[in-house]
Structure 1
Amino acid sequence: MTEPSQSPRPKQTLRALPAASFGAVLGTVGLGLLWYKASEVFGFSRFWGDLFFYTSVVLFMVLGFAYIVKVANYGASELAEFRSTDKGGFYSAIPTGPLLMSAGWAETAPALAEVSLWISSFFILLFALLLMTRLFRNNDPLENANGSWFICLVSPTLISLGAVPLGYDGLSEFTFAIGASFWALSFPIVLFRTLFGRETPPALRPTWCIMLVPSSAFFLSYVAINGGVVDGLARGVYYWTLFLAFILAYASRDVWRWPFGISWWAFTFPAVALAGAAVVYAGAIPSDGGKIVGVVALYLATGVVLTVWVRSLKAFFQGTLLLEAPGATAGNPHQQPESP
């Protein structure tokens, strides 16, 4: 008697490595910068900042090498994905990592920081220009709007975090204006699509948290350009970000039922950015309440990043992190949902 045929099990492959995997770099380097700032504001040890920061540098080199190999083997499908408006925004996570590293190197290695700043800034602005051009020309459906647009269009705001310490005030103001304008334009579109479009599948729901990044980045960059002063506008943006965080936390209350994948890295950088805003606020406006919020946000963000790190390593070594569906073609290489 013939035994029933079994479908082949999905296999882990480099072909399934998404550009959104560089979100792991953003979350880790952001956590390093967060602990650096916490050492200034709260007097904590810089050890944890160094640990997370240099871990992100190594991770970027490993992912960068892996991605170069992938592009060399599957260039056609990768180019098609880069040109799409629903996934193309994730590619901005690649230069945003070195941009954040430039902020960490500004004092200890200024020459390296300058090289990292200018190269990453060029590609961040280029990717934002390309995405906006495609949106103008393609007339894509509203369903293509997603959190990756924030990574691409709002990341120019973050350039000031590396530029201000190096004395590039003009570059900081120029890129801040671009990123802030794109935040005002893209946020209502993505929010409308999330609330009134098709239901977000559980595997992609972590990308909801990317909505925290624009206002957090605005606050951090605005305060940096403003000489560290938290004025009325900065306070308003910070309070809005906290309220949005509560909304997203309640909407994600069943998070442990969501399937784990690369998309979970979308929790990390938003959590770190929000915590960064809380720590900066606590340092600029000393108060018991502000300090408590800053410390709690710091440890929550650290817990989020470490949790996703542990689960990602476990899934990778179990062969379930980077899965390719049986029979996948070069035009559809990614089994895992993408997100930062």
Structure 2
Amino acid sequence: MTVQNPSVYPSAPVLHSWREVSVRNLPVNLFAAVMGLAGLALAWRLAHGILGAPAGVGEAVGAFSLVVFVLISLGYLTKLARYPRAVRAEFHHPIAGNFFGTIAISILLLSAVVAPHSAGAASVIWTAGVVATFALSFVVVSRLLNGQVDPSHALPAWIVPCVATLYIPVTGGQMPMAWASEINLLASAIGAVMALVLFTMIIARLVHRDPLAPSLAPSLMILVAPFAVGFLAYTNMVGGIDRFAALLFYFGLFMFAVVAPKVFRPGIPLSAAWWAIGFPIAALAIAALKYAASRGTGPLWGIAFVLLGTLTLILAVLTVRTVQIALNGKLFS
């Protein structure tokens, strides 16, 4: 794959001069790397609990996701301090602004990563993630209801802030606070309805308008997220896997089969946008492990193993390539 500007803006120019390298160009969608890595850690932790996989894998990846979150946060806070207008423009961009949801989801997932080691820290981190998620969802939905939204902007990125609310019950099912159960219900209501509405709008745009630019093709994998994450949220809420949960899982698996050939094809340049594939596949892998454990059939275990192995390989490659473009300056150009 060739390397181009990692920004979510499809029209951004490719720059190669070190004089143009600046933290000003650090894209907010790079926080999706934390989501993917934290999701991979939770998937391996679940595989350890169900299948006896090595416990160290999940814990090592979880620690790495924390380090990555700190590094990206420091970079983006530097961008905010030095280039507040650039951050403001990114937040108000009709596409890029939705990726601020990756920050909230990262915080929620990291609360689950640290939960076995410190319940108190997990509660604090989860609460911070809940506040950020609700605030962002309110802003994004209010912005859409202002009207005059270009239908061509109905892209998979729209799903991110609303899927973020579904991560609240996914990560908060064991929170000890008395108010946590009602917050989980509220988040599930918002996430389920908005995901359905936005998914319909996005599918209509993809059907009736021009295909996505190659640089945006990886974002198609986000279409898997409402159903995979919805499965995890629903099963946490009801405490088991029923027929409705199975419907969510199987449709998520179907969407993965549909979009995977459109994402994993030659000619799509490497960029930070590729990290958008991590968290939907991680959610689907975790869902597959949980569903296979409940049904106990060989084909379902095969699907779970393939998804977990694929996720591990993809994120390993993305990590190495992202470090490479960070070191040569292309990540910040």
Structure 2 length as normaliser, TM-score?
Answer: 0.91
Q: Deviations over 1:37-68 (max 9, x none)?
A: 11111110111111111111111111111111
Q: Which residue number corresponds to residue 328 of structure 1? A: none
- Find the aligned partners of 2:219 and 2:320 in 1 and give their Cα distance: 19
- Is there any run of 5+ residues in structure 2 with no aligned partner, and where? 1-13
* SS of equivalent residue, structure 1 residue 49: helix
Q: How does 1:216-255 map to 2 (within 5 A)?
A: 216-227=228-239, 229-254=240-265
Letter in structure 2 aligned against 1:233 = F
For 1:175-219, what per-residue CA distance to the aligned partner results, in whole angstroms no more than 9, with x for missing partners?
111101111110011122223223211111111111111111000
Query: In the alignment, does 2:31 pair up with 1:22?
Result: yes
Given the alignment of the two structures, is residue 152 of structure 1 paired with residue 161 of structure 2, yes or no? yes
Cα distance in 2 for partners of 1:205, 1:157 equals 24
- Alignment of 1:127 with 2:136, yes or no, is yes
Contact 1:85–1:131 at 8 Å: present in 2 too? Answer: no
Which position in structure 2 is the counterpart of 1:45?
A: 54
Question: Out of 90, 94, 100, which is 2:99 matched to?
Answer: 90
**Shift of residue 253, structure 1, vs aligned partner:** 4.7
Residue 196 of structure 1: aligned partner: 208
Q: Are 1:293 and 2:283 matched, yes or no? A: no
For residues 300 and 253 of structure 1, do their structure 2 counterparts lie closer, same or farther at Cα, with a shift above 3 Å needed?
closer
Structure 1 residues 80, 320: CA separation in 2 closer, same or farther (over 3 Å shift)? closer
Name the CA shift for 1:122/1:8 in 2 (closer, same or farther; >3 Å): closer
Aligned partners of 2:215 and 2:269 also within 8 Å: yes
**Cα offset, 1:304, TM superposition:** 1.1
Kindly provide the amino acid, as one letter, of the partner of residue 259 in structure 1: P
CA–CA distance in structure 2, aligned partners of residues 272 and 95 of structure 1: 17
SS in 2 for 1:108: coil
Gaps in structure 1 of 5+ consecutive residues: 1-6, 324-340
Tell me, yes or no, if structure 1 residue 169 matches structure 2 residue 181: yes
Match of 2:197 in 1: 185
Preserved CA contact (<8 Å) 1:271 1:301: yes
Asked whether the 8 Å contact 2:80–2:87 carries over to 1, the reply is: yes
CA distance in 2, matches of 1:233, 1:252: 28
- Note if contact 1:89-1:131 (Cα within 8 Å) is conserved in structure 2: yes
Paired residue type of 1:37? L
Which residue number corresponds to residue 86 of structure 2?
77
**Aligned-pair distance for 1:17?**
0.4
Partners of 1:169 and 1:116 in 2: CA distance: 17
CA distance in 1 between partners of 2:113 and 2:73 (Å) = 20
- % identical equivalent positions: 26
Return closer, same or farther for 1:16/1:43 CA change in 2, 3 Å cut-off.
same
Aligned equivalent of 1:274, options 261, 272, 284: 284
Say if 1:41 and 1:282, in contact at 8 Å, map to a contact too. Answer: no
Counterpart amino acid of residue 303 in structure 1: L
- In the superposition, relative to structure 1, how do residues 90 and 253 fare at CA in structure 2: closer, same or farther (>3 Å)? closer
Deviates most, 75-84 or 110-119:
75-84
Q: Say which is worse superposed, 97-106 or 59-68, in terms of deviation.
A: 97-106
Cα separation, 1, equivalents of 2:92 and 2:223: 23
2:40 aligned with 1:31: yes
Displacement of 1:302: 0.7
Match of 1:335 in 2: none
Asked if structure 2 preserves the Cα contact closer than 8 Å seen for 1:271 and 1:304, the reply is no
The answer on whether the counterparts of 1:106 and 1:165 sit within 8 Å (CA) in structure 2 is no
Alignment deviations for residues 68-117 of structure 1 (CA, whole Å, 9 cap, x no partner): 11011111231132123322111111121110111223332110011011
- Contact 2:222 2:277 survives alignment (8 Å): yes
Cα-to-partner distance string for 1:283-314 (whole Å, 9 max, x where unaligned): 22211122111111111111111111111112
2:109 is matched with which residue? 100
Aligned length: 315
SS at match of 2:95: coil
Name the larger-Rg structure.
1
